Amino acid sequence: MTNPFITTGYAGAKYFCDRVKETRDVVELLTNGNNIALISPRRYGKTDLIRHCFAQKEVSDNYLTFIIDVYSTRSLAEMADKMGKTILEQLKPRGEKAWGKFIGALTSLKAGISYDAAGVPSWTVEIGDIKNPAVTLDEIFKYIQNSGKPCLVAIDEFQQILKYDGKNVEATIRTYVQYCTNANFIFSGSQREMMGAMFTSSARPFYQSATIINLPRIEMSEYSKFCDGLFEEYGKHLDVDVVPALYNEFDGTTFYLQKIMNTLFMRTKEGEKCHKSSLAEAINYIIDFSSETYEDLIYQLPEKQKQVLLAISRERKAQNITSASFVRKYSLTSASSVNSAVKGLLDKGLLTCNRGVYQVYDLFLDVWIRERYLK
């Protein structure tokens, strides 16, 4: 491998840092008949942890595994479409017997499956083809129930179902899960408060239906050992203060750590040592690629949203943002205008809020804002 710091997907245990306890916990719980609600902010590595767990021998030898990302879905029909397409794609490597059984179960959508010259199927279903999502979901879950092998199903960004139109969506999905006794599920989500309420409120359908695991940041000491080991393996060297500085700058968020370490590794020649002084240059190198996109994004924001975004970026982590002192400090219009602006920024995915603490969602954008506007 040219660069061992993987920034997309899962490339095997060698390139996966730590998570020993979390891997053990997830595998033990799943293989002993438990469902899991896996919660952490986005870009902490939840999905790759799931892939890592599913790659463990005791799982891969004994289970069919599926990872279904519903982040982009807006309805039960779109969820059914995403589940069907994903399951078909993940069954293809197992051969015709595996995918043939799945296609055979989808009696309501047979016209939406096409085949190439070699007889390999493709999912060509349109959302409009799914006339009754409940029927399609019923067929999918019946396949899982009767697949002939125990299944482990991860539904990524599970809190998205709360945005679907229609009554009793949670209860509908809970019913499918409850009666699918041939599978155990990971409900993975990044909205802590929404996910927490789904699984801990006695009034909700998913109450106490899963063991909740809150995924922490990777420990800095473990990540430092991981990085140092990979540099040394490739005949390169890493100064001891590089990873701590990087870790602190990006709050231990796995995606940013990996992205920047990938660049540092790329720019360090064999036999050379990477120093802390290279960090700012590597960050700017990455951000420069997105600079024009960031310019357009800021330009298109209403002025009040822009000012609130800049104020929160200056704070890094902002609290009490509707207080008189915060409004006065950043010359904002009023508490109500801040509330309105924040709602818009949250809807656009530009901010995150965790326990009343607001910060810019994209930490590269956050750095760019401070460099561009706040120096």
CB 164 within 8 A of CB 75: yes
* Mean pLDDT (whole number) for 189-199: 93
Backbone angles phi, psi at 268, to 5 degrees: -105, 120
Specify the pairing of strand 237-238 against strand 211-214: unpaired
What pLDDT does 127 receive? Answer: 87
Residue 290 lies in a domain: no
Residue 11: strand, helix, or coil? coil
Counting the structural domains of the chain, the total is 3
Q: What is the mean pLDDT of residues 108-132?
A: 89
CA-to-CA distance for 231 and 5, rounded, in angstroms? 10
Residue 19, C-beta contacts closer than 8 angstroms, at least 6 positions apart: 45, 49, 52, 218
- The answer to whether residues 85 and 228 belong to one domain is no
**What's the CATH number where 97 sits?**
3.40.50.300
Query: Is residue 209 located within the same domain as residue 153?
Result: yes
Is residue 375 scored above 80 in pLDDT? no
| pLDDT at site 285 | 97
Sign of CA dihedral 85, 87, 92, 97: negative
Range of the domain at 45: 19-214
Whether residues 40 and 97 fall in one domain: yes
Nearest to 254 by CA among 217, 199, 306: 217
Task: Please indicate, yes or no, whether residues 105 and 120 belong to a single structural domain of this protein.
Answer: yes
Residue 10 belongs to a domain: no
pLDDT band at 131 (very low <50, low <70, confident <90, very high): confident
Evaluate the CA torsion angle 33, 92, 89, 107 in order and state its sign: negative
The reply to whether 5 falls in a domain is no
* 373 has pLDDT over 90: no
- Please tell me whether residues 277 and 189 are part of one structural domain: no
pLDDT above 90: residue 146? yes
If asked whether residues 75 and 91 sit together in one domain, one would say: yes
- Give the tens place of pLDDT for each residue, 220-254: 999 999 999 999 999 999 999 999 999 999 999 99
pLDDT of residue 339: 95
DSSP H helical ranges for 70-168: 76-91, 96-105, 133-145
Domain boundary among 214, 235, 265: 214
Judge if 144 and 116 occupy the same domain.
yes
Taking a C-beta distance cutoff of 8 angstroms, is the pair 310, 341 a contact?
A: no
pLDDT at position 179 over 80 = yes
Same domain for 314 and 274? no
CB of 324 within 8 A of CB of 335?
Answer: yes
Segment 143-154 shows an average pLDDT of: 96
240 and 169 in a single domain? The answer is: no
pLDDT value of position 76: 94
| Per-residue confidence (pLDDT) for residue 128, from 0 to 100 | 87
The predicted-structure confidence for 275-320, as pLDDT tens digits, reads as follows 999 999 999 999 999 999 999 999 999 999 999 999 999 999 999 9
Domain boundary pick from 214, 231, 258: 214
Residue 96 lies in a domain: yes
Q: Please state the rounded mean pLDDT for residues 50-63.
A: 97
Mean pLDDT of the chain, nearest integer: 95
Whether residue 132 sits in one domain with residue 38:
yes
* Average pLDDT for 35-55: 96
Q: Please report, rounded to a whole number, the percentage of residues in the chain having pLDDT higher than 70.
A: 100
Which pTM was predicted? 0.92
**Residue 179 in domain:** yes
Pair (246, 352) in one structural domain: no
Give yes or no: residues 233 and 209 share one domain.
no
With 80 as the cut, is the pLDDT of residue 321 above it? yes
For residue 7, is it within any domain? no
Buried/exposed code over 243-253 (b: 16+ C-beta within 10 A; e: otherwise): beebbebbebb
Helix 133-145 × helix 96-105 angle, to 10°? 140
Tell me the CATH number at 351. 1.10.10.10
Angle ∠(117,122,127) on CA atoms, nearest 5: 140
Q: Express each pLDDT in 336-357 by its tens digit.
A: 999 999 999 999 999 999 889 9
